Amino acid sequence: MAFLKPRERTKERFSLLLLDLEEYFFEQHTAHHVVPNGSKKDKKVRGSFKVCSRSIIFDPEDFVEPILKIPLRDCTNIEFVERETNPFNEPRPAAVCVSCEQVIFIKEVNVIEAYRNERGSKKMTFQLEVQSKTEDVVQTLLQLHRASCLEKLGDQTAMIAANLQSRLARSSFDKNCFQSVAEKPHMECTVEMVTPLVSNPGHVCITDENLYFQPLNGYPEQVIQIKLQQVRRIYKRRHGLKPLGLEVFCTENDLCSDIYLKFYNTADRDEIYYYMATFLENHITEHTAESYMLQWQRGHISNYQYLLHLNNLADRSCNDLSQYPVFPWVIADYGSSQLDLTNAATFRDLSKPVGALNKERLDRLLARYSGMPEPRFIYGSHYSSPGYVLFYLVRVAPEHMLCLQNGRYDHPDRMFNCIAETWKNCLEGATDFKELIPEFYGSDSSFLENRLNLDLGRRQNGSLVGDVSLPPWASDASDFLEKHKAALESPFVSEHLHEWIDLVFGFKQRGSDAEAAHNVFHPLTYEGNIDCDSIEDTDQRIAMLTQILEFGQTPKQLFNSPHPQRITAKFQSTRRSSSITSPVGELSPASPCEDSSFEDLTDESRKLAWANMGSLKASSSCRMHKEAVTGIAVTRDGASLFSTSLDSTLKMFSKEMDFQRSMSFSNMPLSSCLVLADGKTVACSSWDNNVYFYSVPYGRRQDTLMGHDDAVSEMCWFENRLYTASWDSTVKVWQLDSNDSSVKRSRFDLLAELEHDDGVNTVGLNAAGTLLGSGCKDGTLTIWDTSSFEVFQQVQCHTGNIHHLAFSPDSRHILSVGSDSCMKMTDVQTGMVISAVKAEEEQRCFCWDGSSALCGGQSGDLILWDLLSNTVTTKIPAHSGAVTAMWMNELGNTVITGGEDRQMFFWKVQS
């Protein structure tokens, strides 16, 4: 499985899992166990004598012999037996003599099975090969024995911790282990390497080339090395409820990391994290939940990959069984002979937690909840815990289960015997609300099969616990995983997965939303609810911490508002619940706008044009305005283009950028222009509060719309409707009488006046004309339903002016840029800001295709942003002042820009 490293699959018998939970392995010595053999010569068994913080372990070299574990708390006497040199007797080496009341036998005849405990007085003798070490070892054992016999657990823990820190302080990282003599060490400190259920103390050293970990005990190897140039991802982790963990991945998509370190203070952890981050900057971007969400929404990563990334970001790690990655049950049908992924009844309702799937059980739980004193909870157990993880994985990780349960397997009838039975118990059991683990959607089916031939017991019906019983629709374990993976990636799950994310990682995780969703767990499971350090009594603090770690922990909350739905074809079968009617639900494919293109291209060519956007070349330019260009528009046939400027003029150019006409409507600046659908009329907005209509055939002003009490900042047009934005804090909607082809003031009726709290800088419509976006001077982004003129979403998006906004071609997202130098992508359906990028400078205008954006910045450069990875892929020098206006044809192969330098550039994509 994911956390089982190759070295753990070897035939080496000893592992840290033979220790008790929270126990340390300190040192080892080659020794002989002296076994009395009656009158004959004593039998000597060679092996490794291991000193641990709570026990003595002897691991024989002969695998037929069992591993012996002697708990120090069960020892009655530990003494040093001096070397016997009497010439009249047989020489006898110095020895460690241990008298105890219990010995635990492990892996007898090298078989992984439940431990065998032998109680009763015993005396065991061990002779170390390095005789000079014997007395020191005895003194160490006596000190650890005193700690184990202390009455209070807190005192035991403190004494053992002091012993550990003393050992670490007396040692340091061996720099002879450096791979190169030229390496420059940056930092060294004490840490613990974390693996499931166990920690191994030692020293970490980071250089300009490698990260090294050297275990204090030399186990499992003398030093572990990770090349910094191979690191692909690093995560800060919350370990034991404290910000002390650091996890390092050398691959992009692996489930398990290369190393997980727990530091003794946060400052050391952060120092190494930020040092390593400088190496990552050269070849990787640190992703956020929002950036992964965007990739998932647009189908660039699978449901499985997205859940894996969310688990990572929410502190879930395969090295920490108390915070193991959590995945949902998605199938509800485990009885049919065929699995029908086109039938909604096949699937679990992802909008509800497991505990709420069965109404009868939920009613009983809610009745108890209503009468419960504070703090109240609906579910007394969690959906993810170390016990649940090992319940699923016992067949491949038996030693982990034995470690967790003090050397015993669970009762055979309570084990993971049958997938259908497990699902039924999750629906009906009084305390069973567990979800799944990622292995159910992987490719390794060994956790479903008893390949190790483990003796897991016999059930009440007489059957041995063997392989897991599969649903009738699965021919074998591999087939089950294939179909299970297909279900996770199915249209139904893709359409509803966001509902489960809301419960586990999102806004329904806590508070009133969690209560409304019947998603309330015990207070101890939530991050930040309990401050263990504030509990003065050491025993109470340790007990509380242990309870939290073993009980299960809710993931870190990643989203505070509803998670957007994935962009996918609607599930065809009858849905379990009706969808909310909204303008987004009525989206149509992007329709050609009035400014279509200079030339026709296929859809493939359009994609190619955006892919080659970084190769934009300026083919011509002109400077006809006396001040900054504010607007650019092109006729449908591409024969003419128009520009407005702060110099109050409207200019007309040919396709070749040859100047043709100039028109001035007033002595105030013009803020924007657009070509109406008839291709014969140009509308210009002005700072004098008016909109002017210019007739192209007649070459004169046709009419004036006096519509606002302050400057008109921008306009947009759709099917005889004109939308005008103004600094008077309104957007007005005008309807043109379609029975008259002329555009005159008398033909415009005011349909609506959309009020804002501050001046409106920019407006834009989605492709279908069903949504209107408006951006204000105070940074507020508002999305309006154009059928009812009601607010659909409102987001405090920027900290200053919003310069420009535009919907994506599929109308799912809206992108905005502002004076705070931020570029933000907002999900239309939920109002969630799903991507936020801080640019080096203000971006004044842009065009985008939903995944990439071509932006014009304050310095005059054109910047191509990859919004999926939040990276700048290309920077193109353009204007000598800020880029203030931009137009792109629908197919993305032609761009026109205008700037504060009064110039206009005509750009073409070079194939």
Contact of 906 with 898, CB cutoff 8 Å:
no
Give dist(CA 762, CA 428) in Å, integer. 55
- Provide the Cα torsion 793, 798, 799, 802; round to 10°: -100
Confidence of residue 484 (pLDDT cuts 50, 70, 90): very high
- Provide the Cα torsion 614, 615, 616, 619; round to 10°: 170
Which residues are CB-contacts of 744 (< 8 A; sequence separation ≥ 6)? 693, 702, 703
- Asked if residue 589 has pLDDT above 60, the reply is no
Tens of pLDDT, residue by residue over 280-325, are: 764 455 678 888 898 898 888 999 999 999 999 999 999 999 999 9
> What mean pLDDT do residues 166-173 have?
94
Instruction: Determine the residue type at 15.
Output: S
- Asked if residue 10 has pLDDT above 60, the reply is no
Query: DSSP 3-state helix, strand, coil percentages of the chain (rounded to 5)?
Result: 25, 35, 45
State pTM to two decimals. Answer: 0.83
Confidence of residue 744 (pLDDT cuts 50, 70, 90): low
For the chain, how big is the Rg over CA atoms in Å?
35
Which residue, chain included where needed, has tokens 């709570």? 54
> What mean pLDDT do residues 404-433 have?
95
User: What fold, for 172-286?
Assistant: PH-domain like (2.30.29)
Instruction: Compute the mean pLDDT over every residue in the chain, rounded to the nearest whole number.
Output: 88
List C-alpha distances in Å: 682 to 100, 299, 655, 772.
98, 39, 16, 21
The pLDDT, as a whole number, for residue 789 is 94
DSSP string, 415-459: SS-BHHHHHHHHHH-SS----B-GGGGSS-GGGGS-TT-----B-
Confidence of residue 576 (pLDDT cuts 50, 70, 90): very low
Quick check: do 6-168 and 172-286 share a fold?
Answer: yes
> What mean pLDDT do residues 437-464 have?
94
Give dist(CA 624, CA 767) in Å, integer. 32
Give dist(CA 894, CA 756) in Å, integer. 35
| More reliable by pLDDT, 180 or 543 | 180
Give the DSSP H or E segment for 267. helix 266-280
Confidence of residue 736 (pLDDT cuts 50, 70, 90): confident
Confidence of residue 11 (pLDDT cuts 50, 70, 90): low
Which residue, chain included where needed, has tokens 């609906």? 378
The pLDDT, as a whole number, for residue 621 is 85
> What mean pLDDT do residues 378-386 have?
93
Confidence of residue 574 (pLDDT cuts 50, 70, 90): very low
Report phi then psi at 441, rounded to 5. Answer: -120, 20
Q: Within the chain, what is the greatest distance between any pair of CA atoms? A: 131
The pLDDT, as a whole number, for residue 86 is 60
Beta bridge partners of 75: 100
The pLDDT, as a whole number, for residue 738 is 66
- Asked if residue 174 has pLDDT above 90, the reply is yes
What does DSSP say about strands 224-227 and 640-645: parallel, antiparallel, or unpaired? unpaired
Give dist(CA 218, CA 327) in Å, integer. 36
Q: What is the DSSP letter of 327?
A: B
- Asked if residue 658 has pLDDT above 70, the reply is no
pLDDT > 90 fraction of the chain, expressed in percent and rounded: 67
The pLDDT, as a whole number, for residue 657 is 61
**Which parts of 115-152 fold into alpha helices (H)?**
134-148
Strands (E) located in 507-627: 616-622
Tens of pLDDT, residue by residue over 632-644, are: 999 888 888 899 9
CA angle 18, 24, 29 (to 5 degrees): 80
The pair of structure tokens assigned to 317 is 């790690």
The pLDDT, as a whole number, for residue 742 is 59
6-168 has which CATH code? 2.30.29.30
Give dist(CA 839, CA 822) in Å, integer. 6
629-843 has which CATH code? 2.130.10.10
Strands (E) located in 681-828: 681-686, 690-695, 700-706, 712-718, 721-726, 730-736, 748-755, 760-765, 771-776, 780-785, 790-796, 802-807, 813-818, 822-827
Report phi then psi at 267, rounded to 5. Answer: -60, -40
The pair of structure tokens assigned to 819 is 């004076």
Whether CATH 1.10.1540.10 fits 321-551: yes
- Asked if residue 595 has pLDDT above 50, the reply is no
Instruction: Determine the residue type at 191.
Output: V
List C-alpha distances in Å: 634 to 88, 402, 597, 631, 761.
114, 74, 8, 11, 22
The pLDDT, as a whole number, for residue 90 is 66
> What mean pLDDT do residues 255-278 have?
92
Beta bridge partners of 199: 194
Confidence of residue 870 (pLDDT cuts 50, 70, 90): confident
Confidence of residue 582 (pLDDT cuts 50, 70, 90): very low
Confidence of residue 588 (pLDDT cuts 50, 70, 90): very low
The pLDDT, as a whole number, for residue 193 is 96
The pLDDT, as a whole number, for residue 675 is 93
Confidence of residue 581 (pLDDT cuts 50, 70, 90): very low
- Asked if residue 364 has pLDDT above 90, the reply is yes
- Asked if residue 58 has pLDDT above 70, the reply is yes
Give the DSSP H or E segment for 273. helix 266-280
Contact of 841 with 801, CB cutoff 8 Å:
no
Tens of pLDDT, residue by residue over 91-133, are: 678 899 999 999 999 999 899 999 999 999 999 999 999 988 9
Give dist(CA 278, CA 759) in Å, integer. 42
Tens of pLDDT, residue by residue over 506-525, are: 999 999 999 999 999 988 88
Of 850, 830, 692, the closest CA to residue 767 belongs to 850
- Asked if residue 252 has pLDDT above 80, the reply is no
The pLDDT, as a whole number, for residue 494 is 96
Enumerate the domain spans of the chain: 6-168, 172-286, 321-551, 592-622+844-911, 629-843
The pair of structure tokens assigned to 15 is 């592992």
| More reliable by pLDDT, 277 or 486 | 486
- Asked if residue 85 has pLDDT above 80, the reply is no
- Asked if residue 854 has pLDDT above 90, the reply is yes
